[in-house]
Structure 1
Amino acid sequence: MYSLTVADHVMVAHSFKGEEFGPAQRVHGATFVVEAEFRAEKLDRLNLLIDIAAARVELRKILDGFDYNNLDDMGIFAGQNTSTEFLCSYIHGELVRAIRDGRFGEGARAVQSIKVLLRESPLAWAAYEAAL
C-alpha cells in the first residue's frame, strides 16, 4: 500500500456542551496541525499516488472554511461538539468529496482510503480513517 501525506494547520475557537467538559465548556482556542494521508494499492500512469500540490491546495481550501473562526458561530457546525475527533471526520468527508468531484485529477480515483490526523499538542492527537 502506498501512502502520501500533506500537512497544514488551523486556528479556531470553540466551546463544548456538557458538564463532562469542565472548563472547556467556556470558549477557548485551539491550534491544530492537520495531516491528511492518502492511500492506494497502485500508482497512476505517472507513478504518483496523488498530486502533492493538488492535495495541499484542497486541504487548505477546506481549512480556510473555518480557520480563525469561532466554530460555535458557524452554521455548518451547529449543535455539534467540535471535538478533535469530530473535526477529523469533517475534514475527511470534505477530502472525499473533493476526490469524487475530480478536484484532485483522474489519478486520485485510485485512492482507497484517507486518514486525517489532528495534533492538538505534541502530547495529544486524534485521527479518523475510512475507505472512500
Structure 2
Amino acid sequence: MFSLTVCDHIMIAHSFRGAEFGPAQRLHGATFAVEAEFRAPQLDALHLLVDIGLAKQELRRALDPIDYRNLDAEPVFAGLNTTTEYLCHHIHGQLCAALKEGRLGPQSGNVTALKVLLRESPNAWAAYEAPVA
C-alpha cells in the first residue's frame, strides 16, 4: 500500500457538554496539527498517488471553515461535542468529497483509504481512518 501525507494546522475555540469533560466544559482554545494520509494500492502511470499540491490545497480548503473559529457558534456543529476524534471524522468527510469530485487530480480514483490525524500536543492525538466510500 502506498501513502502520501500532507499537513497543516488550525486554531479553534470550543466547549464541551457533559460532566465527564470537567473544566473543558468552559470555552477554551486548541491548536491542532492536522495530517491527511491518502492510501492507494497502486500508483498511476506517472507514479503518483495524488497531486501533492492539490492535496495540500484541499486540506486547507477543508480546514478554512473551522480555522480561527469558535466551533460552538458554527451551525454545522450545533449540539455536538467537537472532540478531537469528531473533528478527525468531519475533516475526513470533507476530503472524501474532494476525492470523489476529482479535486486531487485524475489519480484520485485510485485512493482507497484515508486517515486524518489531529495532534493536540506531542503527547496526545486522535485519528479517524476509513475506506474512501
Name the SS for the 1:107 alignment partner: helix
Structure 2 residue 53 is matched with structure 1 residue 53: yes
**2:62 corresponds to:** 62
CA root-mean-square deviation: 0.5
Q: Deviations over 1:80-114 (max 9, x none)?
A: 10000000000000000001011112211000000
Report the TM-score when normalising by structure 1.
Answer: 0.99
Cα deviation code 1:105-125 (max 9, x no counterpart) = 221100000000000000000
Alignment gaps of 5+ in structure 1: none
Matched, 1:130 2:125: no
Query: Who is 2:96 aligned against?
Result: 96
Q: List, as ranges, runs of 4+ consecutive aligned residues in structure 1 with deviation greater than 6 Å.
A: none
What is the alpha-carbon distance in structure 2 between the residues aligned to residue 71 and residue 101 of structure 1?
A: 26
Which shifted more, 97-106 or 50-59?
Answer: 97-106
1:112 aligns to 2:117 (yes or no): no
The 10-residue stretch of structure 1 (98-107 or 9-18) with the greater mean CA deviation from structure 2:
98-107
Alpha-carbon deviation of 1:77?
0.7
- Aligned residue in 1 for 2:4: 4
> In structure 2, what is the Cα distance between the partners aligned to 1:77 and 1:106?
32
| Residues matched between the structures, number | 132
1:24 aligned residue: 24
Q: Residue 46 of structure 1: CA displacement?
A: 1.0
Helix, strand or coil: the match of 1:79?
Answer: coil
State the alpha-carbon separation in 2 of the partners of residues 103 and 53 from structure 1. 11
TM-score of the pair, normalised by structure 2: 0.98
**What amino acid does structure 2 have at the position aligned with 1:20?**
E
Identity of aligned residues (%): 63
